[in-house]
């Protein structure tokens, strides 16, 4: 990759690296069977049988302004909606297939409404687009790793024209890039086996994307997947279509993401709130707000973003459990967002009591655990100008308590100086102390 290309990627991803927190939205026909977005794959459902959900998709309570208000309340700065998932169902008024929301009882262009609502709320907008399409007759069926009818010999691929499918797929992406105004993210999903890179005619696809919306940022899944491979984005010579950011799925990389040469690469962990992307009525295994906050802090402390998923139900409502969690996260973010937005990897190592994030000479100590005695800032003696509790701006004073004086290389403070301890923490989820370092 040329230095010029790296410079262009750096410019494109500047806002992304400052935003840090986004909402992923998986919604489609699969919300009706309510067993997750891969229901057709797992149950090997023929298309004709799956069509019954098409005929009852009403989106009766779909109100994207409510979704946008929730994202904003949670402190999210961008959002990505599944314009089309692997089942091929389209949430916009595409001219290239009749398998779309405007032909269902909903009779609405759901992508258009989403984009309008989130833009009005000041949230940057992205669209997810599946490279797979289980509904299209020219997409491989029998023997494909993912297709619902992969084990049915009657679904042979002899008469399927994959070039015709690619023309259709590129055409749909062109529709989204030309018919819906400025998009901030194009989130492709995903490559596997031989279905990667030039199998998708990725060079010409990315040339089209860059020509139509040169500012847009793109994930790495024209080559990569969520975990098996990152593609060439991490190599010394990434391809033209390697993407602007890496997209690990359902995990946070142990030490962040860097290229082979050791340079940081923009990345975003996409993670579900329960155990499914699409709505699953029986899945009540929710991550609580504390876990979400700590996932977000961990991502930022490693120079990454968190794209947190919600799966609206068949009527278009985000589940109450998701709403409650995001509102709680939002309360924490309203007090502590400065320790997230625009922050990244700290110059100091991970402390034993929590995490550090940093922005310039502002170091944010995310304190998860109370400590016996003074809370230690390793190796920071003489480097600190002042400390403030981020939530309310109150002063936190350094201490030279008698039992700490044999450790002159470190700095210490008490969160409860009257009692000389750190228990209880002012915020049991994550107490953040803003440390202004001497320049």
pLDDT in tens, 334-361: 999 999 999 999 999 999 999 999 999 9
Residue 7's pLDDT band, with cuts at 50, 70 and 90, is confident
Q: Residue 103: is it exposed, middle or buried by C-beta count within 10 angstroms (0-12/13-18/19+)?
A: middle
How many residues can be counted in the chain?
439
Quick one: residue 342, left, alpha or beta (phi over 0 = left, psi -120 to 50 = alpha)? left
Closest-CA residue to 181 (of 155, 153, 213): 213
Strand 124-130 with 78-84, pairing: parallel
pLDDT tens digits for range 65-119: 999 999 999 999 999 999 999 999 999 999 999 999 999 999 999 999 999 999 9
What pLDDT is attached to residue 281? 98
What local confidence, expressed as pLDDT, does residue 211 receive?
98
Phi-psi region of 40 (alpha: psi -120 to 50; beta: other; left: phi over 0): alpha
Contact partners, residue 254, CB within 8 Å, separation at least 6:
none
Q: Give CA–CA dist 149/147, Å, rounded.
A: 5
pLDDT one-digit tens code per residue, 221-235: 999 998 889 999 999
Q: Quick one: pLDDT at residue 6?
A: 76
d(CA 304, CA 246): 9
In the prediction, which pLDDT does 2 show?
Answer: 52
Q: How far apart are CA 400 and CA 406, in angstroms?
A: 10
Q: What is the pLDDT of residue 1?
A: 40
Distance from C-alpha of 183 to C-alpha of 115, rounded to nearest angstrom: 9
Give the Cβ contact number of residue 46 at 10 Å: 12
- Taking only the tens place, the pLDDT of each residue in 375-388 is 999 999 999 999 99
Query: What are the respective helix, strand and coil percentages of the chain, to the nearest 5?
Result: 30, 20, 50
Average pLDDT of 28-42?
98
Predicted pLDDT at 420:
83
Report the pLDDT value the prediction gives residue 3, as an integer from 0 to 100. Answer: 61
Condensed to tens digits (0 to 9), the pLDDT of residues 146-158 reads 999 999 999 999 9
Both tokens of 100, joined, read: 């779309």
Q: What is the pTM of this model?
A: 0.98
pLDDT at 183 over 70: yes
How many C-beta atoms lie closer than 10 Å to residue 420's C-beta? Answer: 12
Give the pLDDT of residue 158: 96
Residue 418: pLDDT band by 50, 70, 90 thresholds? confident
Token pair 């309310």 is found at 392
Helices (H), 77-135: 110-120
């Amino acid at each position: 990759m040329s230095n010029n290309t790296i410079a262009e990627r750096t410019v494109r991803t500047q806002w992304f690296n400052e935003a840090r927190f986004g909402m992923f939205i998986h919604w489609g026909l699969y919300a009706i069977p309510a067993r997750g977005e891969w229901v057709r794959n797992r149950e090997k459902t023929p298309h004709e049988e799956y069509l019954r959900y098409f005929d009852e998709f009403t989106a009766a309570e779909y109100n994207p302004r409510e979704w946008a208000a929730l994202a904003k309340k949670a402190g999210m700065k961008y959002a990505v909606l599944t314009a089309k998932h692997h089942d091929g169902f389209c949430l916009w008024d595409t001219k290239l297939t009749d398998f779309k929301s405007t032909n269902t009882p909903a009779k609405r262009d759901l992508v258009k409404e989403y984009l309008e609502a989130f833009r009005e709320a000041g949230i940057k907008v992205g669209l997810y687009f599946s490279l797979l399409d289980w509904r299209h007759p020219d997409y491989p069926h029998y023997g494909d790793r993912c297709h619902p009818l992969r084990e049915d010999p009657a679904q042979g691929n002899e008469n399927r024209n994959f070039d015709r499918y690619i023309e259709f797929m590129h055409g749909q992406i062109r529709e989204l890039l030309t018919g819906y105004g400025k998009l901030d993210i194009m989130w492709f999903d995903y490559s596997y086996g031989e279905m990667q890179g030039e199998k998708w005619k990725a060079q010409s696809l990315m040339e089209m994307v860059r020509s139509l919306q040169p500012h847009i940022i793109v994930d790495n899944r024209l080559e990569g997947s969520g975990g098996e491979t990152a593609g060439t984005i991490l190599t010394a010579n990434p391809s033209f279509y390697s993407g602007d950011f890496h997209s690990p799925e359902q995990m946070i990389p142990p030490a962040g993401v860097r290229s082979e040469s050791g340079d940081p690469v923009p990345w975003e962990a996409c993670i579900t709130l329960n155990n499914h992307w699409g709505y699953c009525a029986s899945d009540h295994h929710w991550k609580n707000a504390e876990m979400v906050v700590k996932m977000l802090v961990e991502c930022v402390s490693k120079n990454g973003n968190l794209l947190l998923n919600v799966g609206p139900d068949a009527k278009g409502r985000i589940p109450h459990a998701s709403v409650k969690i995001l509102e709680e996260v939002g309360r924490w973010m309203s007090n502590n967002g400065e320790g997230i937005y625009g922050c990244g990897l700290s110059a100091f190592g991970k402390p034993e009591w929590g995490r550090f994030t940093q922005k310039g000479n502002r170091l944010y100590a995310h304190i998860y655990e109370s400590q016996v005695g003074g809370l230690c800032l390793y190796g920071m003696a003489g480097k600190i100008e002042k400390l403030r509790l981020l939530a309310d701006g109150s002063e936190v004073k350094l201490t030279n308590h008698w039992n700490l004086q044999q450790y002159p290389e470190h700095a210490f403070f008490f969160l409860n100086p009257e009692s000389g301890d750190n228990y209880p923490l002012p915020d049991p989820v994550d107490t953040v102390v803003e440390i202004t370092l001497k320049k």
